[in-house]
A and B are shown apart, each in its own frame.
Chain A
Amino acid sequence: MNLNYYIVLSAILFTLGVMGFLLRRNAIVAFMSIELMLNAANLAMVTFALAHGSLDGQIAAFFVMIVAAAEVVVGLAIIVTIFRTRRSASVDEANLLKF
């Protein structure tokens, strides 16, 4: 089967992730959109690993998953902290550093 379809699917998912990040103001949903982008990139890397006959793509995807896990833990802790002080999970509310 033509592996280009996987790349196109990855591009579509990545775009939906970008749109979700730009569109949603709930910080948790914006964060999930970032996860979607990472997943789309992973799909592309696994596809390229198969296309080029080398395992490096799969290992890169594995490292992306590790970094995503660490990032989610810290990011969600930040969201919880912001929610505790400002009683809101909206990205519009956290504007203390706004110029």
Chain B
Amino acid sequence: MTTLIPLVSAQAVAFWGLAPVMVIGALIMVFARKAVHSALGLAMLMICLAVQYAALDAPFLFVVQIIVYTGAILMLFLFVMMLVGVDASDSLVETIRGHRVLVLLAGLGLVMLLVAAVYQGLTTDPVGLTAATQDGNVPSIAQLIFTRYVFPFEATAALLITAALGAMVLAHGEKLTKKVRQKEAIGLRMKAYANTGAHPGALPNSGVYARNNAIGAPALLPDGSIAEASVSRPLATRGAIVEAGDLVAPAHRTFAEIEAVHNGDVEDQA
């Protein structure tokens, strides 16, 4: 086959086009503040890596990389991030002094060492896989897995089952305290009433005003003060409470206007 552009193969195009993208993906993964951005950088890298596998005559690994790594493992990461809290971003405080500088130095040293060790590691021309994969890539891999590598393959089956069981045992939540049922709950309420005089009945409703009856609106006591128990505590800590004065003010204003008109009528008649 003659090439249109000499010395440029599809493999080279795939490599030089995607290798920078892969390095950028890895950099995003390492340096992004938010964990979700890290996961997306890693997904980008893994899809590019799958393409590199395809260019390196490994179509089976190309598919497995996309299905297992990008499809299953990374989605598992994203699910756990959802459980653990997306906003769990790293703090910028260094717990060990000089940590980052040292890490950068170590990384620089390691990459220089590795590149110096391997960049001329392959001196002979690549043999190519045409001789090893005469039946095609996937049948040849299957032949090897079920003959020479059959025992490691069986061991991976045991490993996967153990991992699934282990994950189930670990992720299954044990209750740390005994669950409070209705009977115990009413006992606790009566005890609180006996000890501190706390009202054992239901808590007061939230306030009902002419323009607002949301749960954030506090109820008013007969003397005009706010009933603290009428708004749930999480709302109060979040500051989602509607100011009672603002809610009452329009009603007071309207009353005052009516009163003024009424007084004027009385004066007119007099």
Query: Which of chain A's residues have a CB closer than 8 A to the CB of B35?
Result: 26, 28-29
Query: Which of chain A's residues have a CB closer than 8 A to the CB of B166?
Result: 73-74, 77
Report which of B27, B88, B164 forms a contact with A16, defined as CB distance below 8 A: B27
Majority DSSP secondary structure for residues of A touching B = helix
Query: How long is the Cα–Cα vector from A5 to B52 in the complex, in angstroms?
Result: 12
A51 located at the interface, meaning its Cβ lies under 8 Å from any Cβ of chain B in the complex: yes
Query: Which of chain B's residues have a CB closer than 8 A to the CB of A49?
Result: 56, 58, 129
* Contact yes or no, A3 B126, CB < 8 A: yes
Majority DSSP secondary structure for residues of B touching A = helix
Q: Given A69-B72, A69-B160, are A16 and B26 also a contact pair (CB < 8 Å)?
A: yes
Interface positions, chain B 30-64, Cβ under 8 Å from A, are 30, 35, 38-39, 42, 45-46, 49, 52-53, 56-58, 60-61, 64
Query: Which of chain B's residues have a CB closer than 8 A to the CB of A33?
Result: 29-30
- Shortest C-beta distance, A27 to chain B (Å), equals 9
Interface band, chain A: 35 or more
* Contact yes or no, B171 A32, CB < 8 A: no
Query: Which of chain A's residues have a CB closer than 8 A to the CB of B120?
Result: 4
- Shortest C-beta distance, B78 to chain A (Å), equals 10
* Contact yes or no, B126 A50, CB < 8 A: yes
* B88 to A, closest residue via Cβ: A89
B232 located at the interface, meaning its Cβ lies under 8 Å from any Cβ of chain A in the complex: no
* Contact yes or no, A43 B131, CB < 8 A: no
* Contact yes or no, A11 B118, CB < 8 A: yes
B206 located at the interface, meaning its Cβ lies under 8 Å from any Cβ of chain A in the complex: no
* A5 to B, closest residue via Cβ: B15
Interface string of A67-83 (1 = CB under 8 A from B): 11111111011111101
* Contact yes or no, B127 A29, CB < 8 A: no
* Contact yes or no, B64 A62, CB < 8 A: yes
Q: Given A59-B141, A73-B167, A76-B76, are A65 and B118 also a contact pair (CB < 8 Å)?
A: no
Interface positions, chain A 1-34, Cβ under 8 Å from B, are 1-9, 11-20, 22-26, 28-29, 31-33
